[in-house]
Chains A and B, each alone.
Chain A
């Protein structure tokens, strides 16, 4: 079975631009979460979606938004990019109320 898949794997954007990152969860997983990992730090929670509804939001500005589609895939959108948004963006999926949360390989975003 395929794991959590994310795209693109790497991208470079200019300050002020917009970016969309995509995630496909493990088959059968209805919960998708997004995390930001800055170099040398642990991942920081951004959003969680379950059955297309937002279930949790971390301490990130409104420039960050996300959504989940009927097939449980998800998008993370970041507007008005800042240099500080440069990071590894991770998607995680899990079964509802299961305590095994799997991560994808991430999308490396560099803002210049």
Chain B
């Protein structure tokens, strides 16, 4: 069974203080690893899809990286508007369906 574990559960940072969120996964063949941002009461907002070990993607202050067992979401010089829950999910390689398995998320708070 596919599994995703995210750490830490919650993270409080001062504005400008860079850090990383971790996503460890086990999956029977990886088609893609997804990162989403979710604001309270809203649906997940797509950030990145990573496909293979060594791949990196960037968007503004966010950079996602992927290894064979985990992914990191690096946040550089965060601002208060980066406060949200960040979700990681894996999509298995069998093309029959598109079942995403999610972690429980990391709740990020950026303090001005």
Contact = CB atoms under 8 A, between A and B. Distances in A.
Counting contact residues on chain B (CB < 8 A from A), the size range is: 20 to 34
Interface string A63-96: 0000000000000000000000000101010100
A105 interface: yes
Contacts of B46: 100-103
B42 A105 contact: yes
Contacts, number: 66
A104 B99 contact: no
B108 to A, nearest CB: 15
A12 B90 CA distance: 32
Contacts of A61: none
Interface of B: 4, 31-32, 34, 36, 41-46, 49, 51, 87, 89, 91, 95-105
Interface of A: 4, 6, 31, 33, 35, 40-45, 48, 55-56, 58, 88, 90, 92, 94, 97, 99-106, 108
